[in-house]
């Protein structure tokens, strides 16, 4: 039974003087429900359309293994469910539901658009006894068959229960059996487009955090306390979710198969842009609903938007050379020096120094804990004339020496001033000289653990921003103005 409101019961303010449409009805419900219904339906169209493609996009286009793809999908899904906690709080305290929904919608739309740019399909390969072979994938009705390309021969790859891998000739006979652990699969993929994909997923999860909790809040604001139509209104609203998800999961995969990945993600982006258009250009129908709370001082919306976009720094290249590693360290160091400006301001205006220090300490501690999980050490390799070789690194007293492993031979790698690379035999003679630009180095590393490491660095830099300036402020507060012990205390 619904309680009858009394004179003391809190009510939504009467906004009929602000929005004359607030008195109109749509199937017996506030007219604004139709606008929010269609806005949510299009947002769910975009979200579920993208999600229907994501796992296949990771495994078919970027050729990630099951473990990597599951890690990426799981991390993205976790963020989708965690970010609304932050987005709802920021809307309640500063932005208002309507501005949060608008910001989330445009960020998600841009994320879906970025997924349209995936570059070329990754090229799978296998490494057997330090020899690299191309892999050809043939799609069949209910599965896919993989072939190892060895010159003019194509050998069907068959995994066995004991962990070995059989390479089958066209007549079905076993041409070669690779022992357990001797068959290493991988893929050549563009680190630029991988970064674009990760940035897109980060944008979608951040945008979802602003959109998802606050569109429902606006539906609730349409009804006064005790209005019996409220539950039925939410039921209608959720029907929009079901309709959007139903049609998107039929149409987006169809376009992805018939036209290309870009078309499937493009349709999801169109759905999200339709959602943003409906809420951004509402013709005054939503005036008085989802407005920001009344606060003194300057509007903080732009600062919140900037901080939200700063989280997109989480995405980085999967493959780090010296230049990338230097850039990563430089970016982290820059954040360590920049975040205290934000942390100090937030403490002064809202949190207070003590709460900021507590928050910063726990975030940094969690970041350091995450760095404990690095997985296996990356395996360096070199590619010369499309041939891949393992690299063995030997640490010495004051340096490290790298050897190229060619079968049973280990050749010392020596870079020359003219850009060529000499491979030296054990007696010091030059066994081979690789021309300038012909020696490409890289490393096999888990994208999952790289993401963990980046997340940890981001948490440490953010935590530092709250902790560092405010612990000093607390020390200063221990002393009265003019206290001669102040300098010694610091």
Residue 29 has pLDDT above 90, yes or no: no
* Partners of 414 in the β-ladder: 422
Residue 104 has pLDDT above 50, yes or no: yes
Res 11: pLDDT:
43
Per-residue pLDDT tens for 64-101?
888 888 888 888 888 888 888 888 888 888 788 888 89
442 vs 145: which has the higher pLDDT: 145
Q: Is 298 helix (H, G, I), strand (E, B) or coil?
A: coil
Res 254: pLDDT:
93
User: Residue 52: CB partners within 8 Å, gap ≥ 6?
Assistant: 248, 249, 252, 253
Of 362, 345, 341, which Cα lies nearest the Cα of 353? 345
Angle at which helices 66-90 and 447-476 cross, to 10°: 30
Res 302: pLDDT:
66
Res 24: pLDDT:
60
Least confident of 268-282, 300-314, 366-380, 421-435: 300-314
The DSSP output letter for 479 is: S
Which range has highest mean pLDDT (8-22, 138-152, 419-433)?
419-433
Q: How confident is the model at residue 304 (pLDDT cuts 50, 70, 90)?
A: low
Return the number of other C-beta atoms located less than 10 Å from residue 385's C-beta.
9
Token pair 């939410």 in the structure block, residue: 234
Mean pLDDT of the chain: 80
Per-residue pLDDT tens for 240-278?
888 888 899 899 999 999 999 999 999 999 999 998 888
Q: How confident is the model at residue 375 (pLDDT cuts 50, 70, 90)?
A: confident
Q: Give the DSSP per-residue string, 367-413.
A: HHHHTT---SPPEEEEEETTEEEEEEEEE-SSSEEEEEEETTEEEEE
Res 42: pLDDT:
92
Of 44, 25, 23, 45, which Cα lies nearest the Cα of 33? 25
Q: How confident is the model at residue 303 (pLDDT cuts 50, 70, 90)?
A: low
Res 16: pLDDT:
46
Using CA atoms, how far apart are residues 109 and 47, in angstroms rounded to an integer? 10
Which range has highest mean pLDDT (44-58, 288-302, 351-365)?
44-58
> Quick one: average pLDDT of 119-146?
84
Which range has highest mean pLDDT (287-296, 329-338, 477-486)?
477-486
Per-residue pLDDT tens for 176-209?
899 888 888 888 888 888 888 988 998 898 899 8
State which H helix or E strand residue 387 sits in.
Answer: strand 387-395
Residue 396 has pLDDT above 70, yes or no: no
The DSSP output letter for 95 is: I
Res 13: pLDDT:
43
User: Do residues 92 and 293 touch, judged by C-beta distance below 8 A?
Assistant: yes
Per-residue pLDDT tens for 305-363?
666 666 555 433 333 334 455 556 666 666 777 777 777 778 777 788 888 888 889 98
Q: In what order do the strands lie in the sheet with 153-159?
A: 174-178, 165-168, 153-159, 144-150, 131-139, 123-128, 183-188
- Which two tokens mark 231? 């539950």
Q: How confident is the model at residue 139 (pLDDT cuts 50, 70, 90)?
A: confident
Of 165, 132, 178, which Cα lies nearest the Cα of 381? 132
Using CA atoms, how far apart are residues 32 and 287, in angstroms rounded to an integer? 10
Res 290: pLDDT:
61
Q: Give the DSSP per-residue string, 139-176.
A: E-SSSEEEEEEETTEEEEEEE-TTS-EEEE-TTS-EEE
Residue 470 has pLDDT above 90, yes or no: no
Instruction: Please count the residues of the chain.
Output: 490
Of 271, 249, 286, 279, which Cα lies nearest the Cα of 43? 271
Token pair 């900037």 in the structure block, residue: 306
334 vs 371: which has the higher pLDDT: 371
Res 255: pLDDT:
94
């Amino acid at each position: 039974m619904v309680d009858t409101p009394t004179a003391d019961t809190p009510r939504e303010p009467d906004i009929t003087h602000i929005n004359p449409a607030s008195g109109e009805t749509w199937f017996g419900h506030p007219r604004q429900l139709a606008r929010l219904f269609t806005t949510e339906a299009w947002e769910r169209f975009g979200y579920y359309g993208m999600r229907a493609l994501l796992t296949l996009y990771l495994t078919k286009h970027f050729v990630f293994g099951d473990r990597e793809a599951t890690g990426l999908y799981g991390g993205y899904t976790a963020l989708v469910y965690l970010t609304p906690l932050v987005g709802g709080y920021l809307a309640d305290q500063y932005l208002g539901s309507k501005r949060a929904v608008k910001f989330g919608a445009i960020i998600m739309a841009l994320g879906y658009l970025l997924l349209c740019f995936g570059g070329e399909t990754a090229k799978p390969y296998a490494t057997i006894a330090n020899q690299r072979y191309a892999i050809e994938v043939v799609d069949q009705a209910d599965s896919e068959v993989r072939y190892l390309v060895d010159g003019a021969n194509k050998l069907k790859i068959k995994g066995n229960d004991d962990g070995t891998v059989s390479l089958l000739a066209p007549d079905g006979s076993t041409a070669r059996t690779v022992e357990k652990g001797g068959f290493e699969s991988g893929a050549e993929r563009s680190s630029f487009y991988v970064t674009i994909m990760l940035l897109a997923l980060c944008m979608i999860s951040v945008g979802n955090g602003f959109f998802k909790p606050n569109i429902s809040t606006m539906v609730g604001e349409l009804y006064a306390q005790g209005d019996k139509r409220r539950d039925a209104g939410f039921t209608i609203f959720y029907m929009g979710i079901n309709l959007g998800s139903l049609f998107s999961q039929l149409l987006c995969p169809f376009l992805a198969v018939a036209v290309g990945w870009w078309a499937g993600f493009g349709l999801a982006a169109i759905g999200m842009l339709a959602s943003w258009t409906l809420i951004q250009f509402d013709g005054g129908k939503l005036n008085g609903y989802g407005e920001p709370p009344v606060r003194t001082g300057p509007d903080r919306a732009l600062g919140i938007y900037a901080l939200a976009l700063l989280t997109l720094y989480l995405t980085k290249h999967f493959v780090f050379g010296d230049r990338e590693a230097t850039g990563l360290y430089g970016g982290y160091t820059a954040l360590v020096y920049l975040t205290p400006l934000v942390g100090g301001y937030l403490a002064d205006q809202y949190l207070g120094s003590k709460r900021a220090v507590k928050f910063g300490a726990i975030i940094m501690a969690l970041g350091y804990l995450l760095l404990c999980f690095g997985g296996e050490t990356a395996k360096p390799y070199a590619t010369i004339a499309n041939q891949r070789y393992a690299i063995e690194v030997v640490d010495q007293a004051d340096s490290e020496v790298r050897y190229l492993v060619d079968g049973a031979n280990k050749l010392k790698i020596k870079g020359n001033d003219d850009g060529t690379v000499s491979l030296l035999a054990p007696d010091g003679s030059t066994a081979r000289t690789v021309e300038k630009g012909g020696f490409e180095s890289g490393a096999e590393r888990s994208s999952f653990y790289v993401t963990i490491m980046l997340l940890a660095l981001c948490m440490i830099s953010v935590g530092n921003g709250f902790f560092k300036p405010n612990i000093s402020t607390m020390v200063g507060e221990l002393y009265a103005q003019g206290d001669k012990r102040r300098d010694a205390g610091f």
